[in-house]
Amino acid sequence: MQPGYQRCGTGPRVNCIVDGDTLWNDGVKIRVADIDTPEVSEPRCAAEKALGDRATVRLMELVNAGQFQMHSRPGHDEDKYGRKLRVLVRDGRSLGDILVSERLARTWTGRRQPWC
């Protein structure tokens, strides 16, 4: 059974959600590899912050809805910030794809695009 995830606070980060595409799992920082979501810590406009908050809450709902697996992509284990790059999958479907279908994320194309 996977642990329950809450939003990350100021204490130790073991199993928590940072934002719509970043979480901590067993003390390891994970970047959801197949999506990009709006920023919540340094948004460029109010609309980005609002959408980022919705994506964060939705990611928390998705990871807490049941067992999921984390898959790495060959040659893409870690990003330049030291986060592990993983695709989160439940029942053969990417949780990132669910966020994209709900317009809370974009498919990752290799570079950030503006949300404002």
Cα distance between residue 100 and residue 104, in whole Å: 6
Amino acid identity, residue 7?
A: R
Q: For residue 31, indicate whether it is catalytic.
A: yes
Catalytic choice (31, 54, 58, 86): 31
* Distance separating alpha carbons of residues 12 and 93, to the nearest angstrom: 30
SS3 79: coil
Q: Is 90 a catalytic residue?
A: no
Q: Which of 48, 54, 58, 83 is catalytic?
A: 83
First to last CA, the chain: 39
Check if 13 is active-site. Answer: no
Residues 48, 46, 56, 13, CA torsion sign: positive
Which of these is catalytic: 7, 39, 48, 54? Answer: 39
Coil, strand, or helix at residue 6? strand
As annotated, the active-site residues are 31, 39, 83
